[in-house]
Structure 1
Amino acid sequence: MSVFSKIIAAIVLIALPHAALADTVSTGNGDDTFFAGRLIDQSIGTNGDTFVTARSAQVEGAASGDLHVSGFDVAVDVDVAEDLYAMGSTVVIRGTVAEDLSVMAFSARTESSAEIGGNARLMGSSVTLDGPVAGALSVIGRDVILNARITGDVRISAQTLSFGPEAVVSGRLTYSTKEQITVPAYVAPEERVTFEQVTGAQIFEDWRDIGTEMPALPTFASMMFGFIISLLFFLALGALMLGFMPRRLARLRRSVAQAPGQTFMLGVIGLSMLFGTVPVTALTIVGLPFVPIALLAILVAWVLGYALGAYSVAMRVWAGLGGADDPSNFARLAILAAAITFIALLNFIPFVGWVANYTLVLLGIGAMTRAVLQSLIGNPDVAFDVDMKPIED
Structure 2
Amino acid sequence: MTLSLSRHIAAACLLVGLAMPAFGEPVMVTRNGSDTFIAGASVTETLDTQGDTFISGQTAVARGVSEGDLHVAGFDVSVSADTREDLYALGATVVLRGAIARDLTAAGISLRTEDSAQTSGNARLLGKTVTIEGPVAGALLVTGREVVLNAPITGDVRILAKTLSFGPKAVVTGTLTYSMEDRIDVPERVAPASRVVYEKISPMDVWDDMAEMDHWREMPMFPTFASIIFGFIISLLFFVVLGALALGIMPKRLEAMRKSIVAGPGRTLIAGIAGLSVMFGMVPVTGLTIVGLPFVPIVVLGITAAWTLGYALGAYAVAMRVWVGFGGDPEAGTIPRLLVFAGAIIAIALLNFIPFVGWVANYTLVLLGIGAMTTTLLTHFIGNSCQALDVDMKPTKT
TM-score of the superposition, structure 2-length normalised? 0.68
Which residue does 2:273 correspond to in 1?
268
CA distance in structure 2 between the aligned counterparts of 1:121 and 1:173, rounded to whole angstroms: 14
Number of residue pairs matched by the alignment: 347
CA distance in 1, matches of 2:141, 2:284: 40
- Aligned-partner Cα distance in 1 for 2:317–2:223: 31
In structure 2, give the amino acid aligned to 1:328: G
Residues 245 and 22 of structure 1, relative CA distance in 2, 3 Å threshold:
closer
Which segment is superposed worse, 370-379 or 17-26?
A: 17-26
* CA contact 1:146–1:167 (8 Å) conserved in 2: no
The CA RMSD measured in Å over matched residues stands at: 4.6
5 Å-filtered alignment, 1:135-174, equals: 136-138=141-143, 146-149=150-153, 151-153=157-159, 155=161, 162-164=167-169, 166=171, 170-172=176-178
Of the candidates 98, 101, 105, which is equivalent to residue 101 of structure 1?
A: 105
Q: How far did 1:242 drift?
A: 0.9
CA distance in 2, matches of 1:23, 1:276: 16
Alignment partners' CA distance in 2, 1:153 and 1:290: 38
Structure 1 distance, partners of 2:160, 2:150, is: 10
Q: Cα deviations across residues 84-112 of structure 1 (Å, max 9, x unaligned)?
A: 54558653352343xx8324478633744
Q: Residues 289, 250 of structure 1: CA spacing in aligned structure 2 closer, same or farther, 3 A cutoff?
A: same
Do the aligned residues in 1 keep the contact of 2:111 with 2:127 (CA within 8 Å)? Answer: no
* C-alpha separation in 2, matches of 1:297 and 1:129: 45
Question: Quick check: 1:20–1:283 contact (8 Å CA) kept in 2?
Answer: no
Which residue pairs with 1:235 in the alignment?
240
User: Contact conserved, 1:146 with 1:163, CA < 8 A, in 2?
Assistant: yes
**Is the CA contact 1:151–1:171 (under 8 Å) kept in the aligned structure 2?**
yes
Deviates more, 1:244-253 or 1:144-153: 144-153
C-alpha separation between the residues in 2 aligned to 1:259 and 1:305? 16
Hey, what does 1:324 align to over in structure 2? 329
Amino acid at match of 1:24: R
Q: For 1:293 and 1:324, how far apart are their aligned partners in 2?
A: 40
* 1:278-317 paired onto structure 2 within 5 Å: 278-317=283-322
Please report how far the alpha carbon of residue 221 of structure 1 lies from its aligned counterpart in structure 2 after TM superposition.
2.8
**In terms of mean alpha carbon deviation, does 85-94 or 302-311 score higher?**
85-94
Distance 2:314 2:22 in 1: 34
Residues 113 and 283 of structure 1, relative CA distance in 2, 3 Å threshold:
closer
Q: Deviations over 1:340-385 (max 9, x none)?
A: 1221222222222211111110010111122223334443558799
**8 A contact 2:276–2:367 mirrored in 1:** yes
Match of 1:340 in 2: 345
Identity fraction in percent: 37
Distance 1:357 1:378 in 2: 31
1:24 alignment partner, one of 31, 36, 48:
31
Q: SS state of the match for residue 326, structure 1?
A: coil
Which residue among 15, 32, 52 is the counterpart of 1:9?
15
Q: How do 1:1-393 residues align onto structure 2 when only pairs under 5 Å count?
A: 1=7, 8-9=14-15, 11-15=17-21, 21-22=28-29, 24-26=31-33, 35-37=36-38, 40-43=47-50, 52-53=54-55, 56=62, 58-60=65-67, 68-70=71-73, 73=79, 75=81, 77=83, 84-87=88-91, 90-91=95-96, 92-97=98-103, 101-104=105-108, 108-109=113-114, 111-116=117-122, 119-121=124-126, 128-131=133-136, 134=139, 136-138=141-143, 146-149=150-153, 151-153=157-159, 155=161, 162-164=167-169, 166=171, 170-172=176-178, 185-187=188-190, 217-380=222-385, 388=396, 390=398
Separation of aligned partners in 2, 1:84 and 1:384? 62
Q: CA deviation at 1:165?
A: 6.0
Q: Give the unaligned 5+ runs of structure 2.
A: 1-6, 39-44, 199-206
- SS of 2:62's partner is strand
C-alpha distance after superposition, 1:131-154 (max 9, x if no partner): 156454346789x66112363346
Match of 1:199 in 2: none
Work out whether residues 103 and 123 of structure 1, in 8 Å CA contact, stay in contact via their aligned partners in 2: no
User: Conserved in 2, the CA contact under 8 Å of 1:314 and 1:339?
Assistant: yes
C-alpha offsets along residues 224-249 of structure 1, whole Å, 9 cap, x if unaligned?
A: 23222222222222112111211111
CA contact (8 A) 1:102 1:120 kept: yes
CA distance in 2, matches of 1:19, 1:281: 18
Question: Helix, strand or coil: the match of 2:331?
Answer: coil
Q: Which residue of 2 aligns with 1:197?
A: none
1:30 matched residue in structure 2: none
Residue type at the aligned position of 1:331: P
The code of the aligned residue for 2:37 comes to A
Question: What code does the residue aligned with 1:36 have?
Answer: F
Aligned residue type for 1:25: N
